[in-house]
Amino acid sequence: MIQNVLSNESLNPLTPLDRGTAGKWIPCPHCEAVCGERELSPGQELRCTRCGVTVLEYIGKRTLQPAMALSMTGFFILLLANMSPILTFEVVGRTQSGFMITGVIELSEQGYLPIALLVFFCGILAPALYLGAVCYVSTACALGLRLPMLRFIFGAVRLLEPWNLIPVFAIATLVASVKLKMLGDVEWQMGARWVLGVSVLTIFCQQTFDRRLVEERLSAMGL
């Protein structure tokens, strides 16, 4: 189901699909209706006639180098975030430093092991695996490297992305600090900056990782 692609500057539809593009179909990300893929010009987009969601838009020369750089940087910043204290809490003359793993340990010691494991996976393990997988796949595709298990790791990216909740962790830390200030003195440490940095990089990484381009590159490499 295809709606005419409209330009930002005019309302002229694109020409019909030619034989070179016939048979190439992509699903709508919202309702999963199939749409015929076609080449777009600057300012044009392809919309689904069923729900009106943009299925394809012109993005110029496509490359995976931004995703490679963002994921690599985010991965190393995540390591720094785990090794640095996020904040220090002082009450009645007693000071305690809080790391990313501190909440997991406290929940486990209080008998909330399932919740502790969930927090560990969504806040620490899944972000590391996601950024590492994106870096692995985008590096291989950008440089044309036939690295082992590319298809498997590319599939893992799809599964890990919804579980990468490091931005939610950053917001939860901010909310928790407001509650802690009612009990004592809270001072932000360098780890908080690393958490904020990896949260921003993760969001940009999700936006720049072009799955369709990865599919094209993997097919071109015979994988």
**Can you state the percent helix, strand and coil of the chain, rounding each to 5?**
55, 15, 30
- Burial, 197: exposed, middle or buried (Cβ in 10 Å; 0-12, 13-18, 19+)? middle
CATH fit for domain 65-220, picks 3.30.1360, 1.20.140, 3.40.1130, 3.40.50: 1.20.140
Contact partners, residue 175, CB within 8 Å, separation at least 6: none
Confidence of residue 6 (pLDDT cuts 50, 70, 90): very low
What's the mean per-residue pLDDT of the chain? 77
- pLDDT above 90 for 133: yes
Contact yes or no for 14/4 (Cβ under 8 A): yes
CA 99, CA 109: separation in Å to the nearest integer?
Answer: 16
Give phi and psi for 160, each to the nearest 5: -80, -25
pTM for this structure? 0.69
- What does the pLDDT look like over 60-87, one tens digit per residue? 556 788 888 999 999 999 999 888 888 7
CA geometry: angle 111, 117, 119, nearest 5 deg = 105
**Residue 151 CB coordination number (10 Å):** 11
Numbered ranges of CATH 1.20.140 in the chain: 65-220
